[in-house]
Structure 1
Amino acid sequence: MFDLFSGQAKPRFHERALGLRAYRQELLASNIANADTPGYKAVDIDINGAIKNGANVDSGVELKYEVQSQGNIDGNTVDMDIARQKFAENALLYEFEVDRVKGFYKSMDDLLKNTPTR
């Protein structure tokens, strides 16, 4: 098992982070899809806090409703520029977590096959 102090986190950490990022991606996609829905309140999660606290999707993550400084007349709080930026950033970080998990399991597979890792 890898050690946090050796510079590589344990795979469960990355698997939890991957689940949280996937959940956040669903929320952000929902915000974008509802950008024209009157009265829709944009939602998000504190992803960094959830990851730090060891939360996972199954244990429940607190939703945060976004409040815009200049809300729309129809009560919708989705700012498309911010929503797209968050969506793209989260997608990149999701891919990062996928790479970490894949790398760990590749190392384990190489170890079991007794082949050196690159």
Structure 2
Amino acid sequence: MIDKLDSALRFHQEALSLRARRQEVLSSNVANADTPNFKARDFDFGSKLTEAVERGRQSLSMSMSTTSSRHLSGEAHAAGESDLMYRTPNQSSLDGNTVEMDVERVNFADNAMRYEANLTILSSKIKSLLSAVQ
């Protein structure tokens, strides 16, 4: 039963995790808009979500050792910087900074809206599962 519940919610879990990570990357770009030679970074959300769902996060998870069978198992997931790509600017700047504030604002707002949509969908899915249980 738990496996079925986990598989039903895995996609939304991965999507929210990746959206939050992308929001951090985009906010880092905005924060460094005036930093000389800073290179704007981003990642392809669609391909990362597909990889994460297929992989099931098993290869990147690390579990804690327990001293008793009654302990809860804890997991830590690695979030590497290796999958971040540099963004190619439309206009070059004199100081070498590749952050374009208009592009960053659009991507930030779009990602925030999609994060909220994922939360709404997940909430309705949980409510329907709860009503099915009751």
TM tier, smaller:
0.7 to 0.9
Number of residue pairs aligned between Structure 1 and Structure 2: 107
Task: Flag structure 1 segments of 5+ consecutive residues without an equivalent.
Answer: 3-8, 114-118
* Cα distance in structure 2, aligned partners of 1:89 and 1:12: 22
The Cα RMSD (Å) is: 2.1
Q: TM-score, normalising length from structure 2?
A: 0.71
Residue 52 of structure 1 corresponds to 50
Which secondary structure does the structure 2 equivalent of 1:29 belong to? helix
Counterpart pick for 1:11 among 9, 12, 22: 9
Runs of 4+ that moved beyond 4 A: none
Deviations 1:35-69 (A, max 9, x none): 01111110101101111223669354600111214
Alignment-mate amino acid for residue 126 of structure 2: Y
Residue 66 of structure 1 corresponds to 87
* Cα distance in structure 1, aligned partners of 2:51 and 2:91: 32
Task: Flag structure 2 segments of 5+ consecutive residues without an equivalent.
Answer: 61-76
* Cα distance in structure 2, aligned partners of 1:102 and 1:69: 39
Q: TM-score, normalising length from structure 1?
A: 0.80
Structure with the bigger RCO (C-alpha within 8 Å, sep 6+) is 2
Alignment-mate amino acid for residue 11 of structure 1: L
Deviations 1:66-110 (A, max 9, x none): 121422111100000000000011111111111121112111222
* Cα distance in structure 2, aligned partners of 1:86 and 1:54: 21
